[in-house]
Structure 1
Amino acid sequence: MDIAVTAHSLTKRFGRREVLHGVDFEVQAGSVFGVIGPNGAGKTTTMRCLLDIIRPNSGEVRVLGLDPRAGGPDLRRRIGYLPGELFLEGRVTGRKLLSHYEAVSGPVPPGRIDELAERLDLDLDRHTRKLSKGNKQKLGLVQAFMHQPELLVLDEPTSGLDPLIQQEFHAMLREARHNGQTVFLSSHVLSEIQQTADTVAILRDGRIIAVESVTGLREGAMRHLRFTASHTAASDAVALLTAVPGIGNIEVLESNGGVTLSAVLEGAIQPLLHALGRLELTDLVLEEPDLEESVLKMYAMPQKEVL
């Protein structure tokens, strides 16, 4: 598969403060690549370096096969960009503003703008100064998607959107991927990334501490477990669980003719199922993987443990 975006040893300083420390990643063409991290992690700075809005102090970047510093207007027309802080001209309607953007970005299929506006429940004939934050965000999404660019770069795209519109946005992302477009998006909300992304990069303090497929992240995520077994001593059940790879935080909740235990599993599920098959279970609860807990744990680890 072709590579749409690469960054190698990307470093950026503002004065004496270094905000990106040798960032490396690559984005497969036709995929959704999500970058997650807390505010100040370097997500926006990374995106601006990709788009040549700011320039790195060192390192190499390629976007759609080109150096963004030399790509010029032709490269920019192949990209749809939604900034994290969206500033709009306030004296025009949304429709007139999008007409201006169309002249910059290149041809837009007939009816495309109205179709997107309808999906996002956006009134294009209102002046932008009268729009709420959420409606301004919708206008920003329309301008990013309307010319069907090869690459979408979206910085915190669901900020200010209500849950129903967020779901419509997720549908738009799935359609973009189906059409072969590449998406690079950032968020500090893990649930948004796991709904839409194929690959997730976890950014902390200007460093990528992990790059995982969403499937891989789920497989290694924490699952909370609780079960009850009859005719089993608590010590035997604890010993059985302790031998399962990735099991921790074992707690005996009840022991009276049987046993009720809780634990946390971080790893493959098959060894756990094999162990539980030796017990006479009367109840079993195995929760969905808690990706957020796993990512927060990564944030807390020293850098050398996760690189």
Structure 2
Amino acid sequence: MATIEVQGLTKAYGDTLANDDLEFSIERGEIFGYLGPNGSGKSTTIRQLMGFQSPTAGTATLFGADIRDQDALREVKSRIGFLPGEPAFNGSVTGEVFLDYQARLKGDSRRAELLELFTPPLDRKIREYSTGNKQMLGLVQAFMHDPDLVIMDEPTSGLDPLKQEAFNRFLRRERDDGLTVFFSSHVLGEVRRVCDRVGIIREGRLVTVETVDDLLQRGGKRVRVHTDPPLTKADLGLDGVVDFEAEGRQAQFTFTGDYDELFEALSQHRIVDVEIDEPPIEEVFMHYYGGPQRTEERNDAT
């Protein structure tokens, strides 16, 4: 049984579909990245998975518990860690008082370990925290009871680069120990570094679900070639040459065709230097988001 199973999940706000017939599953020990810009429907999906909002149609299960059944969902929530996109803390208490309260609710067997990794100033009132300190406090509470599943909305928001990398290493270790992770993000680099699979959501609809490796492979390769004399796109005469640009004797393009044919075409020219790399994941992502968006902007609720 999948840890998370989403079946036709739909959420409508009036005439606007924030989530439109979503279908995907997440297996135990998998890090699943939910990718899309702000307003694409990521947070709405998460609020439904946690039982904070009811679906308009369809459903999902967490450890087999239907999200429409509050009693069943309540029974499995002790196995779930949660970090919302904007944690709502009581600013008048210290971080330590907040974690003590969370410990009484769900336990804190890993609290000390996590506080060595994430270091919010526990003796200060939360109202005095920076955005990064609030995020670290939220991460500690999400993981400190040693959950089997963690659901997070933009978990690295506000973290400095060193803490982001520490968080990524931590996630990979936890995944290797069997933790299942579902998190939304618009930070493409972190998705590539830590995720096993990604789902890309656009305007409430799931565009694709695939492994990060497959996503990058389908995006082709980025080719940079220095020739004498200069190379033109017509010189190649190949299908699969995208975004060809040339400056002086250097040309670069994305290639999605047959690589034997590419090498054969290049061999007809005097090559001074050539580099073939994976494209940035940002370029792959723009394959799904390069078209026009809806004219009306979604509000923060989606």
SS in 1 for 2:68: helix
2-structure distance, mates of 1:50, 1:132? 29
- Tell me the TM-score normalised to structure 2 length: 0.88
1: CA distance between counterparts of 2:190 and 2:258? 24
Query: Secondary structure of the residue that 1:174 maps to in structure 2?
Result: helix
Give the gaps of 5 or more residues in structure 1: none
Q: List 4+ stretches of structure 1 deviating above 6 A.
A: none
Measured in 1, the distance between the counterparts of 2:142 and 2:258 equals 40
- Greater Cα shift, 149-158 or 220-229: 220-229
The whole-number CA distance in structure 1 between the counterparts of 2:279 and 2:26 is 25
Match of 2:163 in 1: 165
Map residues 49-68 of structure 1 onto 2, 5 A cutoff.
49-68=48-67
Aligned match of 2:252 in 248, 262, 272?
262
Deviation of the 1:72 alpha carbon: 3.8
SS in 1 for 2:166: helix
Q: Tell me which moved more, 128-137 or 259-268.
A: 259-268
Alpha-carbon shift at residue 297 of structure 1 (Å) = 2.4
Report the counterpart of residue 242 of structure 1 in structure 2: 237
The separation in 1 between residues aligned to 2:142 and 2:259, in whole angstroms, is 41
Q: Deviations over 1:15-45 (max 9, x none)?
A: 3432111111111211000011111100000
Tell me the residue number matched to 2:8: 9
Question: Superposition pairs for residues 42-191 of structure 1, below 5 Å?
Answer: 42-70=41-69, 71-105=72-106, 107-109=107-109, 112-191=110-189
Q: Secondary structure, in 3 states, of the residue corresponding to 1:73? A: helix
TM-score, L = length of structure 1: 0.86
Correspondences of 1:210-289 after superposition (within 5 Å): 210-229=208-227, 234=231, 238-239=234-235, 241-243=236-238, 245-251=239-245, 253-254=247-248, 260-266=250-256, 269=259, 271-273=261-263, 275-277=265-267, 279-289=269-279
8 Å CA contact retained: 2:62, 2:73? no
**Aligned-residue CA RMSD (Å):** 2.3
Q: Which residue is 1:291 aligned to?
A: 281
Report the secondary structure of 1:138's partner residue.
helix
189, 192, 195: which one pairs with 1:194?
192
Q: Distance in 2 between matches of 1:269 and 1:86?
A: 48
Q: Residue 280 of structure 1: CA displacement?
A: 4.5
Q: Distance in 2 between matches of 1:252 and 1:72?
A: 57
Question: Once the 2 structures are TM-superposed, how far is the Cα of residue 272 of structure 1 from its aligned partner?
Answer: 3.1
Q: Which moved more, 1:219-228 or 1:274-283?
A: 274-283
Q: Given the superposition, is the C-alpha separation of residues 7 and 196 from structure 1 closer, same or farther in structure 2, using an over 3 Å criterion?
A: same
Which secondary structure state, in structure 1, belongs to the residue aligned with residue 60 of structure 2?
A: strand
* Mean CA deviation greater in 210-219 or 285-294: 285-294
Q: Is the 8 A contact 2:92 2:126 kept in 1?
A: yes
Shift of 1:129: 1.8
Deviates more, 1:278-287 or 1:156-165: 278-287
Task: State the number of aligned residues.
Answer: 291
What is the identity, as a one-letter code, of the residue corresponding to 2:111? I
Counterpart in 1 of 2:299? none
Preserved CA contact (<8 Å) 1:12 1:57 = yes
Q: Deviation string for 1:186-210 (max 9, x for gaps)?
A: 0111112111111111111100111
Would you say the 8 A contact 1:222–1:293 is kept in 2? no
CA drift of 1:260 comes to 4.6
Residue 28 of structure 1: aligned partner: 27
Q: Which letter does structure 1 place at the counterpart of 2:17?
A: E
SS of match in other structure, 1:10: strand
AA aligned opposite 2:283 = E
Q: Would you say the 8 A contact 1:222–1:291 is kept in 2?
A: no
> Which stretch of structure 1 is more off in the superposition, 272-281 or 66-75?
272-281
Assess if the C-alpha contact under 8 Å between 2:120 and 2:134 holds in 1.
no
Instruction: Indicate the percent of aligned positions where both proteins have the same amino acid.
Output: 38
What amino acid is the match of 2:14?
G
Q: Is the 8 A contact 1:223 1:290 kept in 2?
A: no
